[in-house]
């Protein structure tokens, strides 16, 4: 996958970054359990504010010039940031349960999922025990992403952004800043 080339080259530590993100007027639009054992909670969430990656000052990407088409961003590169210092991060083995659920659903539900601002599905949150991960579409158009890519990011960030690396979670921001994935200790997506 293309994103690993950039991830390994761009692994940076964001000094002093807090992993907490604020979701104002949070509304859970749908909730379900995914994976073979149905033990990972999946939610489509709507926030009244724009969700930005921790440690980044990114505005909502205006890509209207590309039209209202759906864009597949599977295999897109992203830049990994670990949140320092260590402490209060997710257990990487809890994140591995989310990875397994994503891979299971990729094979049994379908390889792709959609993040559509018009359908209020631009923020998708998954949680198991201490691990919470979410993906955010930062554009005003529909994006498709691969469950297997999200699973690969889960494994990479969970095991490379933990206390042994002086970190407590991390994120991966798309090179073109259209989307990002973040991993934190459960319930740090504050309302």
Cα distance between the two ends of the chain? 34
As a whole-number percent, the residues of the chain with pLDDT over 90 amount to 62
Express each pLDDT in 141-178 by its tens digit: 999 999 999 999 999 999 999 988 899 999 999 999 99
d(CA 103, CA 129): 18
d(CA 74, CA 150): 9
Average pLDDT over residues 173-188: 88
Q: Are 109 and 39 spatial neighbours (Cβ–Cβ below 8 Å)?
A: no
Domain parsing of the chain, residue ranges? 2-53+71-190
- pLDDT number for residue 15: 31
Query: Mean pLDDT for the chain?
Result: 82
- pLDDT number for residue 48: 86
Instruction: Output the six-digit token pair for 159.
Output: 């095991």
Q: Are 147 and 105 spatial neighbours (Cβ–Cβ below 8 Å)?
A: yes
**pTM, 2 dp:** 0.81
| In the chain, beta strands by DSSP E | 12-14, 21-22, 27-34, 40-46, 71-72, 78-83, 112-115, 123-128, 131-137, 143-146, 170-174, 179-185, 189-190
Is pLDDT above 90 for 10? Answer: no
Is pLDDT above 70 for 62? Answer: no
pLDDT band at 50 (very low <50, low <70, confident <90, very high): confident
SS3 readout for 24-66: CCCEEEEEEEECCCCCEEEEEEECCCCCCCCCCCCCCECCHHH
Separation of CA 120 from chain center? 16
């Amino acid at each position: 996958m293309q994103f690993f080339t950039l991830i390994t080259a761009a692994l940076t530590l964001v000094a002093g970054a807090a992993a907490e993100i604020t979701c104002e007027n949070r509304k859970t639009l749908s909730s379900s359990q995914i994976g073979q054992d149905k033990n990972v909670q999946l939610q489509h969430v709507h926030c009244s504010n724009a969700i930005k990656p921790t440690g980044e000052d990114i505005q909502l990407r205006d890509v209207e010039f590309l039209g209202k088409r759906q864009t597949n961003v599977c295999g897109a590169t992203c830049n990994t940031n670990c949140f320092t210092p260590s402490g209060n991060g997710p257990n990487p083995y809890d994140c591995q349960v989310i990875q397994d659920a994503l891979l299971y659903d990729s094979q049994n539900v379908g390889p792709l999922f959609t993040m559509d601002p018009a359908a209020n599905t631009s923020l998708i949150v998954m949680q198991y025990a201490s691990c919470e991960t979410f993906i955010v579409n930062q554009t005003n158009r529909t994006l498709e992403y691969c469950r297997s890519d999200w699973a690969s990011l889960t494994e990479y960030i969970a095991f490379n952004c933990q206390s042994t690396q002086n970190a407590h979670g991390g994120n991966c921001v798309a090179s073109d800043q259209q989307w990002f994935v973040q991993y934190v200790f459960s319930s740090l997506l504050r309302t």
